[in-house]
A and B are shown apart, each in its own frame.
Chain A
Amino acid sequence: MTGLDVDDLEALARLARLTVAEEDRATLLRQLGEIVGYLDALAAVEVDGVAPWEPSAPGAAPLREDLAAEALPVEPVLAGAPAAADGLVLVPRFVES
């Protein structure tokens, strides 16, 4: 299990904004434990003084011109929102009046 227990799983789920159903816990813990156990192979590698990888671009990363552009049309944007009214996205209530 490589140190992962139910409390860890619950803490990870809270951080990830996910709910883990009780019936899925044992399977998920076993699977994550096996995966993390496999990832532990990295611990044996000597990485002192090794810099993290970066892409090898043949030139500087290009920057686009700082130009004004048209905004997205409101109607199709709102059509993709879960809820909308009066030209605005309706969000779940987060302040009690």
Chain B
Amino acid sequence: MGDALTELDARELSDAVRRGETSATAIVQAHHRAMDRGADLHAWLCRTDDAALAHAARIDDARDRGGPLGRLAGVPIGLKDLFVTRGIPTTAGSRILSGWIPPYQGEHARRVDDADMVLLGKLSLDEFAMGSSNENVVGEPVRNPWARDRVAGGSSGGAAAAVAAGMIPVALGSDTGGSIRQPAACCGVVGLKPTYGRVTRSGMIAFASSLDQAGPITRSVRDAAAVLEILAGRSDGDSTCVDAPVPDFVAACERGAKGLRIGVHRRSLDADGLDDDVRARFLEALALLCDRGATLVDIELPHAALGIATYYVLCAAEAASNLARYDGVRYGARVAAASVEASIEASRSAGFGPEVRRRILLGTFVLRAESYEAYYGRAARVRRLVADDHAQAFAHCDVIATPTAPQPAFRLGERNADPLAMYLGDIFTVGANLAGLPAISIPCGFTRPDRTPRLPIGLQLVGPAWREDAVLAAAAAHEDGSAWHRERPPIAADETSPASEPST
């Protein structure tokens, strides 16, 4: 199949390996070529080419011998570089962890390995997952495959760009305030944030522990469902990860939209700063779902406008606490100084980038005794009000639909001097994190033809807690009625060689 292998989704690839129509080795080689072609996107922090080929050879050998194969055998995957990988550098995109090679395997890396997915490397991110543009980096920012002068979104920008560009069919990202869904929207791919507690956080470097959740970025909804089944389930390393049966999420994708009640918060569509094309594609996506049997329900989310303020108080506070562990003593980079206190301060100041330092200072501010009750204490209570709003809305609907981001991908550098403007772009995504709800972003079209560059737009669907099945069913119904998920950016479409005979 040559490089046409990079056009297939994860389940198709795995089926092809299982049937002997191609080999895991051929699949990995095809994706390595795509990684070479897309090197200017700067999506990868680390490639593991030799280990990937060795792993693929073991899978091919097992298949040839008739041995057992994992759930997604031979499917290439990339991990955002805050998933801990034994023997492979894991930096969280930060200087302070430069050179750290984990002595243990994180749970996500173990689960995808158990499924015989082949790790191709570690993906770029905003430092410690703090950012919405993948510009808070040590090296080069990630570029959007659809337009090189645009951001890929963040913080899982490397993951979304790599999936969109055909370098991998599956990436794992993390989502604290939209960091899976917003880059998925910017790059025209699928991004799923599970319910808080559905997927372990053990083996994922912490940013804000009450908000962080790992999830897949893929090119199809059904692939996202299949990967969620691999990731979900009890974890001995994380007591917030529930011990509950993992539903058949792939089967849920076949339910269709008939009878689906979609909640729409009309007031949020009137907000300043909502791009005309984003509004238009969102309304078209609703119309498509209604054509397939869904109905719309107007809902109220009275505290939605407070989501950003609530989120940034809580995530900054948790980041300040979580990142206190980086002191240059036991692991990571150390700056020598006259005293241990001076060494810690120098190591942290040199090791953290500007946005991380800003959020640590903000978190320290909202947690200090003088301001704790006015900021942290209050935000923790407003979070309850935001969650209650969603619970009341779900009494009348099965999912809530919003645009994923208020604008398509913005220009590199456009918001770097104005962190508040960057934060406000999270307006539609933070609610699901605050309320701990599952949410997905799926492609729903592009900017209008007379506007250049042509940029993808995302539709967000949010479900009640533990109802990823409802979210996936609605998303798959949209996908079944559209072809947006099959669009490829120029790097994947123009430079991919035509399909050839299957290799064995």
Do A and B assemble together? yes
Interface residues of chain A, those whose CB is within 8 Å of chain B, are 4, 8-9, 12-13, 15-20, 28, 31-32, 34-36, 38-39, 41-43, 45, 47, 50-53, 55-59, 61-65, 72-73, 76-77, 79-83, 89, 91-94
A38 to chain B, nearest CB (A): 6
Could you give, for residues 158-175 of chain B, a 1 whenever the CB lies within 8 Å of some chain A CB and a 0 otherwise?
000000000000000000
A28→B357 CA distance, assembly (Å): 10
Do A82 and B436 have beta carbons less than 8 Å apart? no
Do B378 and A42 have beta carbons less than 8 Å apart? yes
Cross-chain pairs A/B with CB under 8 angstroms, 13 sampled? A18-B345, A20-B361, A39-B309, A42-B306, A45-B303, A45-B306, A45-B385, A57-B242, A61-B240, A76-B101, A80-B100, A89-B329, A92-B339
Do B234 and A36 have beta carbons less than 8 Å apart? no
User: Which residue of the partner chain, among B100, B196, B313, B358, contacts A42 with CB atoms under 8 Å?
Assistant: B313
Given contacts A18-B348, A28-B358, A81-B330, contact A91 B340 (CB under 8 A): yes
Interface centre among B101, B104, B349, B419 (most CB of A within 10 A): B349
Chain B residues closer than 8 Å to A73, beta-carbon distance: 103
A50→B375 CA distance, assembly (Å): 15
Do B357 and A18 have beta carbons less than 8 Å apart? yes
Q: Which B residues, 444 to 458, have Cβ-Cβ distances below 8 Å to chain A?
A: none
Given contacts A18-B357, A47-B385, A76-B101, contact A61 B239 (CB under 8 A): yes
B203 on the A face (CB < 8 A): no
Given contacts A12-B361, A59-B244, A82-B334, contact A47 B381 (CB under 8 A): yes
Number of interface residues of B (CB under 8 A): 78
Q: Nearest CB to that of B363 among chain A residues?
A: A16
Do B103 and A72 have beta carbons less than 8 Å apart? yes
Q: Nearest CB to that of A43 among chain B residues?
A: B374
Do A93 and B346 have beta carbons less than 8 Å apart? no
Interface centre among A16, A50, A59 (most CB of B within 10 A): A16
Q: Which B residues, 290 to 344, have Cβ-Cβ distances below 8 Å to chain A?
A: 303, 305-306, 308-310, 312-313, 320, 324, 327-334, 336-337, 339-341, 343-344
Do A32 and B361 have beta carbons less than 8 Å apart? yes
Do B382 and A15 have beta carbons less than 8 Å apart? no
A27→B330 CA distance, assembly (Å): 33
Do B365 and A12 have beta carbons less than 8 Å apart? yes
A49→B341 CA distance, assembly (Å): 42
A7 to chain B, nearest CB (A): 13
A50 to chain B, nearest CB (A): 4
Do B419 and A35 have beta carbons less than 8 Å apart? yes
Do A35 and B362 have beta carbons less than 8 Å apart? yes
